[in-house]
Structure 1
Amino acid sequence: MSKLVQMENKLMSRLQVIAKDMQQKLNMIRLFQQMLKRSPEDSYEKHEEFVANPLNAFALLRRLQQDWPKWLMYLKTQPEIEEMQQEMQKAPSEKDLQTAIKGLLRIERVYDLESSHMAKGLLLGKQYDSFLTSPDCEALADNLFNRTEYSRSTHWYRTAIRLYKKPYGKLYNRVLGLKRKGLNRKYAQAIVYDRKQFE
């Protein structure tokens, strides 16, 4: 019987580890919900108004294309995952995301906007109730970098680094795999490549 007590003690110890992991996941979920700050019961008109703002539309497309699949992996122990995976079949494609990125970068160029202002939701002197996150800015920077627009990409990488802060930094790292060191490396690389263009 003493061996059974030892076995149960091991199981209880394992259970504590699982409970701690689940609590951390719950904390990450709550952070993500807080970051989105939108009610799923919003009316259709509010949805239309929300996506009419190009910052909101881009961020929504990027999250559905890049973040939500990572969330499904992060939450893989939950029974609701299968239903969510079926729902993800309807998510925007990579092509949709690239179209949104190009559209937002076109707005930036045409209106000569600053990346830091756009990230705060400030467009042409008017403050909108929207913002971009660090992963949003990284996606824009990556697109510019891949198109060899290194100078413009540095502004977006710098903005992504500034937005990479508590409490969301932990969420970006653990769930999305976006590390601050990686952002710093990309930023430095963009600066180096930009200088090489003018040598």
Structure 2
Amino acid sequence: MTLDQQCLIAMGGNLPFGTLGPEEILAEALVRLREEGPEIQAVSRFFRTPAFPAGAGPDFVNAAAVLRVALEPEAVLTLLHRVEAALGRKRVTRWGERTLDLDLIAMGAHVLPDRTGFEAWRGLTPEAQQSRAPDRLILPHPRLHERAFVLVPLADVAPDWVHPVLGRSVQQMLDDLPQAARDEVEAL
């Protein structure tokens, strides 16, 4: 795998950490990421979005960033988890409230663990998605094409990135979503 590559991350949170609110936590996460070595090439605007799934807590603040890294995907994921933990992330409930969520959405055109593994996770029912977590890194994120709270911020920073399995750009995947879903994502 080629090192020194572009990766896309989705950022979000809906709980405070100490005196920091969700917007401040996202800003601090970017500072900490930069301190750890990745080059931050672009950061989207911040957006307010309803909790996912519906009713799972207060509204989220979401954003996206493009990083340039000289790390393997698993090392990037470890870095993201380290920053989450430093800013109060507790992994209690899948898709629950959290101070910070840093999702590795994609690294270039890599499909991990392989296309079959990716397709298996992409094809899960909503119930299985909520109750099961993969035991290894799945790239691109298997749900990114369904989530306006990921695609709207990504369209700010990487509208032309093409999904290596679906063959659709971020902007095309966003345009595929219902208008009502896109309208729920409001710029701050």
TM-score, with length taken from structure 2: 0.29
Q: Which has the higher strand share?
A: 2
Structure possessing the higher radius of gyration over alpha carbons: 1
| Higher RCO (C-alpha 8 Å, min separation 6) | 2
TM-score, with length taken from structure 1: 0.27
